[in-house]
């Protein structure tokens, strides 16, 4: 997919660059991003809205992969940006992303985070709960500002995905419940506030979703309420943000729609609902994370040790694991992989790929067909672009791998490899404490 192909040495090539050369130069593990593919995904989403003649903002959910270079790329492609913490906001500001196109999410934004958002004049705060309404109002008042907000509602939808990444169901930590009057109460409070400008409504039903049933149901439930609010509160939203969550294909078992199909089917329903209730078509915002960057990322590892469990299985161990990709351990996520240095060779055996962390659960891939591979072969794991680097950690004090961007034959190092010095950078010796 993307610009990936096999070159005449039988090596995996991405963005016109030989991944074996990249592994030799930058070491392993190494995250490689296919920049052209990210650009195409970004342009695809925008094109779909243009074709439909719909006013829209496509906000990249930066939690999927947030670094200065990535955010600069998002800016180059003219998307908006969704951040969920002071740290993600700081990264966006460091990348000099236009503040009016930043949207700030989160179910427990601190006073400091909200102040940071307001003093930097960011475009919109997605308000999650009553505590936040009061806090935001107080801060906005003290800074003498009027803040644009969306209200996040929970429509009571169960999208079919892993329990930990479900968010639209009633029993969720996110948002105002749409059904039990919470959302209406919040809307009333916000409308009455002099410091809040309620642009509209936000809803995100989950992640890695393979069809539009959940989105359509959510839109229907929201419009039923919007119709009530039109009468009861004379309120009509200017913006409807339907979140992210569009699924991608990690393995052959995944059957997502194409990005434009998700958007077209959802917009179709929103149009129908707006007409049905005789409302103005709101501006539509979406927040894709995974579907913008997921399949553009590939991780290259070096194979080291192996272990046979006679008549059961063969383990091949790589030089990374749950420290650079926690998704298999956390969500039983599945991935496909090939030998980056011997792509065209036929599989001869089935092996299981073990990480190097001290946990039996640190298994990256079970039962992978591969050519007979040994130490120093390179394993390329596909579709690691979303929630790979962003959820990487230093378990076992393993330094996080570097990230390179490749495009049209050139390579840019966009995140340096962590060092052992970085592992102790924040540590203080025991005598320091004794002295105090």
Point out the annotated binding site for substrate: 290, 327, 331, 359, 387
- 121-133: b (≥16 Cβ within 10 Å) or e: ebbbbbbbbeebb
SS3 54: coil
Give, in degrees to the nearest 5, the angle at Cα 101 between 96 and 107.
100
245: its two tokens: 């969550």
Compare residues 248 and 368 and give the one whose CB is closer to ligand LLP: 248
Residue whose tokens read 């169901």:
169
Q: Which is nearer to ligand LLP, 9 or 261 (CB)?
A: 261
Nearest to 82 by CA among 199, 205, 214, 242: 242
From 203, 357, 358, 383, the catalytic residue = 358
Contact call for residues 371 and 346 (beta carbons, < 8 A): yes
**Residues binding ligand LLP (CB under 6 A):** 61, 64, 82, 105, 165, 167, 204, 207-208, 243-246, 287-291, 327, 331, 386-387
State how far the Cα of 256 lies from the Cα of 247, in Å rounded to an integer: 5
* Beta strand segments in 270-322, E: 283-286, 297-309, 313-318
Type and span of the H or E element at 210? none
What is the nearest approach in angstroms of ligand LLP to the Cβ of residue 421?
29
CB of 243 closer than 8 Å to CB of 287: yes
Q: Which residues pair with 318 in a beta bridge?
A: 303
State which residue, 29 or 206, has the beta carbon closest to ligand LLP.
206
- Binding site, annotated residues: 245, 287-290, 327, 331, 359, 387
**For residues 145 and 173, which CB has a smaller minimum distance to ligand LLP in the complex?**
173
Question: Does 124 qualify as catalytic in the annotation?
Answer: no
Q: Name the residues annotated as catalytic.
A: 358
């Amino acid at each position: 997919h993307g610009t990936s192909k096999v070159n005449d040495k039988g090596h995996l090539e991405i963005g016109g660059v030989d991944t074996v050369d990249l592994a030799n130069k930058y070491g392993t593990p190494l995250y490689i991003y296919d920049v052209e593919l990210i650009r195409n995904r970004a342009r695809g989403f925008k094109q779909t809205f243009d074709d439909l003649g719909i006013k829209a903002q496509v906000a990249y959910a930066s939690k999927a992969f947030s670094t200065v270079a990535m955010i600069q790329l998002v800016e180059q492609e003219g998307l908006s940006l969704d951040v969920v913490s002071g740290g993600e906001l700081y990264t966006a500001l460091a990348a000099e992303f236009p503040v009016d196109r930043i949207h700030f999410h989160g179910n427990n934004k601190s006073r400091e985070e909200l102040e940071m958002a307001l003093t930097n004049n960011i475009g919109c705060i997605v308000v999650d709960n009553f505590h936040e309404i009061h806090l935001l109002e107080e801060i906005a008042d003290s800074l003498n500002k009027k803040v644009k907000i969306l209200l996040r509602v929970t429509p009571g939808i169960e999208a079919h995905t892993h329990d930990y990444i479900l968010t639209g169901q009633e029993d969720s930590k996110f948002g105002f419940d749409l059904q039990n009057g919470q959302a209406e109460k919040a809307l009333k409070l916000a409308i009455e506030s002099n410091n809040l400008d309620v642009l509209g409504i936000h809803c995100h039903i989950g992640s890695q979703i393979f069809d539009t049933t959940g989105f359509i149901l959510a839109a229907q439930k929201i419009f039923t309420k919007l119709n009530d609010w039109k009468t009861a509160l004379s309120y009509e939203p200017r913006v409807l943000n339907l979140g992210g969550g569009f699924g991608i294909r990690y393995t052959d078992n995944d059957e997502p729609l194409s990005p434009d199909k998700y958007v077209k089917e959802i917009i179709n329903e929103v149009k129908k609902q707006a007409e049905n209730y005789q409302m103005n078509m709101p501006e539509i915002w979406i927040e894709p994370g995974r579907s913008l960057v997921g399949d553009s990322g590939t991780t290259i590892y070096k194979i080291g040790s192996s272990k046979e469990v006679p008549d059961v299985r063969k383990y091949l161990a790589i030089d990374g694991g749950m420290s650079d990709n926690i998704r298999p351990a956390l969500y039983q996520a599945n991935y496909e992989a090939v030998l980056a240095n011997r792509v065209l060779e036929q599989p001869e055996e089935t092996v299981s790929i073990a990480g190097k962390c001290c946990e039996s659960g640190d298994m990256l891939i079970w039962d992978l067909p591969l050519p007979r591979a040994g130490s120093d072969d390179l394993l390329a794991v596909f579709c690691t672009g979303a929630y790979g680097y962003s959820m990487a950690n230093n378990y076992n004090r393993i330094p996080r791998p570097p990230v390179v961007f490749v495009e049209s034959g050139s390579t840019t190092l966009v995140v340096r490899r962590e060092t052992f010095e970085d592992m102790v950078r924040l540590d203080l010796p025991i005598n320091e404490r004794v002295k105090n």
